[in-house]
């Protein structure tokens, strides 16, 4: 049996197409007007030329680029190592906080105090305490490298954030799922591993990735300890020329670094929305 759409349906689809073309045109026009307006405001500003000269100077950008690029490679290394440990510690702390056994009360207490402290403390302070305080203890077996200590500080702070995100995910899994798994005879840890955590991670992937994006840019803060990352390299270049373009170059590289992850996060969120709509939540 072949199906031919009715005239009514053809008209409806036609109207839909026209409306869609119209919204595209409006979006384009509105973007053009907005962009033109912004350009006119900025270009006509009194100090425009001075700002362009000291922040967007092509000559200094080219000159500083190789050094900054070396720096960003350090940021990338720090980032990957920090991400790895942040996920492990974050998961461990989250699981510790969701235990219920009375024997484990001290563990819960420590995990709670840890997250309370490191979520509340400014990252810069943690960096100074770890990066300058630990060498001050003169422990021979702890490396004094700024990169190592800076990474430790990042891991300490971000583990607390990530632990809270994962914990929210664990607590967001419907309790009946846990009960169903226990009723099948799975142990507490089996339930956690095979039933609760997979669902928890799926629910919190977007906020988790959000924290990782944020970690990516905060890896630039280890420069305060003297590690020659992209920010520090830009600082050195600026000190030679008194031109701020190198900082802008470093900032641009950081943005380029985070864009793939942010786009991926957006895509994931959209996909989850669609999956929920398909389940009849309107």
Partner 1 sequence: MSTLLELSGIRKSFGENLVLNDISLRFPQGSATVIIGASGSGKSTLMRCINLLEELSDGQILLEGSDISAYGINLDSVRGKIGSVFQAFNLFPHLTVLENITLAPRLVQKKSKDDATVHALSLLKRFGLEDKADAYPNLLSGGQQQRVAILRAIATGPKVLLLDEVTSALDPVLIAEVLALIAELKSDGITMIISTHEMGFAKKIADSVVFLSGGVVCESGTPQQIFDNPQSPELRNFLGALHDAGRL
Rounded to whole angstroms, what are the CA distances from 34 to 21, 29, 37, 151, 183? Answer: 20, 9, 5, 42, 60
Site string for partner 1, 12-41 (x = CB under 8 A): x--xx--x----------------------
> Least Å distance between CB 278 and partner 1?
9
Radius of gyration of the chain (CA): 26
Tell me the HSE value of 64 on the side-chain side, using a 13 A CA sphere: 35
Q: Which DSSP state fits 184?
A: T
Nearer to partner 1, 141 or 282 (CB): 282
Nearer to partner 1, 3 or 242 (CB): 3
The stretch among 8-16, 33-41, 128-136, 205-213 that binds partner 1 (CB under 8 A) is: 8-16
| Class of residue 158 by CB neighbours under 10 A (exposed 0-12, middle 13-18, buried 19+) | buried
Nearer to partner 1, 15 or 41 (CB): 15
Nearer to partner 1, 1 or 103 (CB): 1
Residue 109 CA, chain-centre distance (Å), reads 28
Tell me the HSE value of 117 on the side-chain side, using a 13 A CA sphere: 10
The stretch among 1-9, 53-61, 82-90, 232-240 that binds partner 1 (CB under 8 A) is: 1-9
- Which of 121, 89, 117, 128 has its CA nearest to residue 221? 128
Nearer to partner 1, 112 or 177 (CB): 177
Q: Quick one: which of 2, 6, 100, 279 contacts partner 1 (CB under 8 A)? A: 6
Q: Please name the residues in contact with 271: beta carbons below 8 A apart, sequence gap of 6 or more.
A: none
Nearer to partner 1, 172 or 260 (CB): 172
Q: Quick one: which of 2, 8, 46, 141 contacts partner 1 (CB under 8 A)? A: 8
9 binding partner 1? (CB under 8 A) = yes
Q: How many residues bind partner 1 (CB under 8 A)?
A: 11
Report the sign of the C-alpha dihedral through residues 246, 252, 255, 260, in that order.
negative
274 binding partner 1? (CB under 8 A) = no
Structure-token pair, residue 77? 């290394």
Residue 115 CA, chain-centre distance (Å), reads 18
> Least Å distance between CB 172 and partner 1?
15
282 binding partner 1? (CB under 8 A) = yes
Nearer to partner 1, 185 or 280 (CB): 280
> Least Å distance between CB 168 and partner 1?
18
Whether residue 220 contacts residue 254, with contact meaning beta carbons closer than 8 Å, is answered with yes
- Residue that is written with structure tokens 């031919």 in the block: 4
> Least Å distance between CB 7 and partner 1?
10
Report the sign of the C-alpha dihedral through residues 119, 121, 127, 132, in that order.
negative
Nearer to partner 1, 120 or 280 (CB): 280
Kind plus residue range of the DSSP H or E element containing 10? helix 7-43
> Least Å distance between CB 23 and partner 1?
12
Residue ranges that bind partner 1, judged by CB under 8 A: 3, 5-6, 8-9, 12, 15-16, 19, 280, 282
């Amino acid at each position: 049996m072949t199906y031919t759409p009715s005239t009514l349906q053809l008209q409806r689809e036609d109207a839909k197409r026209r409306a869609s073309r119209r919204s595209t045109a409006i979006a384009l026009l509105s973007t053009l007007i907005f962009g033109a307006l912004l350009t006119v405001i900025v270009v006509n500003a009194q100090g425009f030329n001075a700002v362009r000269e000291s922040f967007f100077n092509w000559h200094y950008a080219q000159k500083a680029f190789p050094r900054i690029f070396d720096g960003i490679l350090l940021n990338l290394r720090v980032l990957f190592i920090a991400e790895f440990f942040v996920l492990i510690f974050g998961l461990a702390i989250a699981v510790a906080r969701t235990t219920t056994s009375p024997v484990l009360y001290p563990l819960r207490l420590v995990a709670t105090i840890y997250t309370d402290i490191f979520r509340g403390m400014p990252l810069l302070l943690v960096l100074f305490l770890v990066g300058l305080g630990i060498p001050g203890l003169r422990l021979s077996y702890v490396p004094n490298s700024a990169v190592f200590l800076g990474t430790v500080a990042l891991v300490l702070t971000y583990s607390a954030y990530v632990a809270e995100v994962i914990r929210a995910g664990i607590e967001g899994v419907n309790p009946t799922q846990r009960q169903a798994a226990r009723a099948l005879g799975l142990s507490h840890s089996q339930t956690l591993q095979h039933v609760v955590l997979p669902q928890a991670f799926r629910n919190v992937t977007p906020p988790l990735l959000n924290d990782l994006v944020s970690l990516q840019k905060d890896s630039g803060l280890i420069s305060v300890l003297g590690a020659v990352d992209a920010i520090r390299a830009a600082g050195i270049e600026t000190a030679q020329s008194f031109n701020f373009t190198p900082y802008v170059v470093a900032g641009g590289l950081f943005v380029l670094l985070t864009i793939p992850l942010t786009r991926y996060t957006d895509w994931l969120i959209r996909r989850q929305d669609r999956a929920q709509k398909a389940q009849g939540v309107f």
